[in-house]
Amino acid sequence: MGKNGSKEAKKKHHAKKQKNARIEEELQIEQEEVRNQVNILVLGTGESGKSTFIKQLLILHKGGFRQTDRETYFTTIRKNLVIHTVQMVNACKSFGWELEEKNHKLAREFVNIKTSEIKELKKETVKKIKQLWTDPALKTAYKNRHKFHLPDSSDFYLDEIDRIGDPKYTPTDRDILLCRIPTTGLNKISFNFGETPWTVVDVGGQRSERRKWIHQFDNVTLLIYVVAINEFNQKLFEDEEVNRLLESLVLFEKTSNDKFFKEKNCVIFFNKIDLFEEKIKTEDLSQCFPDYEGGNDPDEAKKFIKLKFLEAGENESRNIFCHSTCATDTRNIENVFDAVNVSIIENTLKNGGYM
């Protein structure tokens, strides 16, 4: 090989080395970014408040809801006014809660409504709902909503029917936070918390959705498990023989001890704490846990439930952090989220040998 050929070969070899070095550097940077990224999987049973937590992150870290979001919720919230009224009227009929005679004819109209065919909220329908909501029987139905499937927030929307019934109505942040739309598939949000990139994934909590969780277990930094602590006297939507809080406990034990999570730190949100503290005044936790003997003391009841979940997820390889939350309260979620961030930082330092 001549001098020119030798120089050309050296030149190509040097260029190749430089290219390989750049690729190696880029891979190292990418790996470092992956190591520094926080990936959180939010799990829990249906209606536990997972999606409300994601909505709060949108408010706190993504600038809030877009106009297109508000337009979507406009339709859903107004339809829900009719659906919730139909549910309560039907419950009155099933449980024998007698409506005032003047409302009998009106109630029959709602009994015959097919909720799947509701397209819009008409002005005359708003007047009818408003009249029915003044009936003591519907108030009784709402107070006994644990006996059938009615969202806790339905009274909020019915009390606001004049505002929501206005054709020019625009959903507020609170309206959207309280609105329940079942999660199907994945609900993902990415943002920077300080200088650290975060990705938070919420998946459907209904039984039919849980098989999809398995695909989200790779590279998870932390598991957040949301428990609707107020559901100790309620049954599953999918199975009216199963207590909701017991279902959540069984699912937590199974999920947190799965091979994917054995060494992953976990944060439990005991959510809907405001509703729990109100309910425990008149309902005994022993109807869910026969071994409970703390009566109507909210602190004793919370302590008992917390211990049940800690025992279910006990594992020497990881830590479990517990927080009482009200997912519809933005300030509460902001404070809890700051605490979650601290636990992640502590865990990172510990794994790196700095603690």
Catalytic residues: 47, 52, 180, 202, 206
Query: Residue 134 has what DSSP assignment?
Result: T
8 A C-beta contact, residue 241 and residue 235: yes
* Residue among 167, 164, 175 at smallest CA distance from 133: 164
Beta-strand relationship, 196-203 and 222-228: unpaired
Measured distance CA(185)–CA(187) in Å, rounded: 7
Measured distance CA(41)–CA(264) in Å, rounded: 11
How many CA atoms are closer than 13 Å to the CA of 11, on its beta-carbon side? Answer: 6
Query: What is 186-243 written as a DSSP string?
Result: EEEEEEEETTEEEEEEEE--SGGGGGGGGGG-TT-SEEEEEEEGGGGG-B-SS-TTSB
8 A C-beta contact, residue 285 and residue 276: no
